[in-house]
Chain A
Amino acid sequence: DVKVTQSSRYLVKRTGEKVFLECVQDMDHENMFWYRQDPGLGLRLIYFSYDVKMKEKGDIPEGYSVSREKKERFSLILESASTNQTSMYLCASSLRQGPVYGYTFGSGTRLTVV
């Protein structure tokens, strides 16, 4: 089975800190995604990447950046954390582009910014 591993289950950070959320997948998937999940809002796409060193903005990229230097790793960066970025963050990967490919999700990182 494909595994998507998010490095932290819970994080508490202070306002203004730079925060790194790491995601690693082990099955050579081309596509990787970062979502945030908030009650009543479902999943909202922050950034995605079709391949190494490629990135595309999703629906809510403001306040975030990403890095994909290696195919298996996709990092989400909060340049200066704010309290409105308190959320559950979910990483996902997909074998490649195309409508038939589903996602494999990580277990999520619950980030609290104080």
Chain B
Amino acid sequence: EPEVTQTPSHQVTQMGQEVILRCVPISNHLYFYWYRQILGQKVEFLVSFYNNEISEKSEIFDDQFSVERPDGSNFTLKIRSTKLEDSAMYFCASSGGKGGSPLHFGNGTRLTVT
């Protein structure tokens, strides 16, 4: 069964540094998402992406965040200048259709900002 893959599984970075989290969605999917989970808290929506543009974003997704689909397979989340509070598990997800299609999640990238 096809899966969403995320790399790296764990990223450690210093405060103020830029990080790029990478995701390869399922190949025929058209809708892409990033969610995050701070340790001990709930999974939170960050952004949805469709047709090469952001379709919706949450309050968390401020100017420090950006997403990109640089080629036909990758979907990236960039944090320009990391803060301690960005430490979290970041999940990429994709779906084949709009609201009715289930989300397929990746295994997540654990980001630790020191």
Q: Do A and B bind each other?
A: no
Residues of B within 8 A of A (CB): none
Residues of A within 8 A of B (CB): none
